[in-house]
Structure formats: C-alpha cells, structure tokens
Amino acid sequence: MNSYVLLGFIAGVFTSLSLLPQLYRVFKLRSAREISLTFTAALTFGNLLWLAYGILSGLVPIIFWNVVSFCLAGGLLVAKIRFGK
C-alpha cells in the first residue's frame, strides 16, 4: 500500500466516522428536530456521487469510505424522516 492510499484511508476514518456521534444521539433521544433535512439529503446524495466516482476511478479508499459514509448518512436521513417532528 503506497502512502497516497494510506492517506486516503486515514482521511476517510475522520470524515466518515464523524457522523457516528450524531447518529447515536438521534437514535438515543429519538429526536432529529435540530438536523436539517436538506443538509442530510444533500450529504447522502453527495456520498453516493463520491462512491460512483470512486468506482469509476478504481480508488479503493474512496469506494470503501463512501460506502461507510453513505450508510451512516442514509441512517441519519432515515432518522430525520422518522424522528424529525
């Protein structure tokens, strides 16, 4: 593994897993009133586009971390729709 790929994996840890505390809080409190639906939908769609870019480019760190991010952002989107009131 070269240094660029390693850097991609390290960057992905911080950006992708930064969603975990928010996702945990929303499900724990069963409230997502303070989260913007527009932001969450745009983030989820953006992760999907980054995933497509990674697949088309064959960039493993981009593919891996955007699968993770898409799942976490998608979970946050579901929580917003479910608990957003």
Give, as one character, the DSSP assignment of residue 84. Answer: -
* The total number of structural domains that make up the chain: 1
Query: Which amino acid would we find at residue 43?
Result: L
Which CATH number fits the domain that encloses residue 67? 1.20.1280.290
Q: Is the pLDDT of residue 85 over 80?
A: no
> Cβ atoms within 10 A of the Cβ of 84, count?
16
Let me know if 10 is exposed, middle or buried by CB neighbors in 10 A (0-12, 13-18, 19+). Answer: exposed
Q: What does the mean pLDDT of the chain come to?
A: 94
The percent of residues in the chain predicted with pLDDT above 70, rounded, is 100
CA atoms of 24 and 12, how far apart (whole Å): 19
Domain assignment of residue 7, given as a range: 3-83
Contact (Cβ atoms closer than 8 angstroms) between residue 80 and residue 32? yes
Q: Is the pLDDT of residue 17 over 80?
A: yes
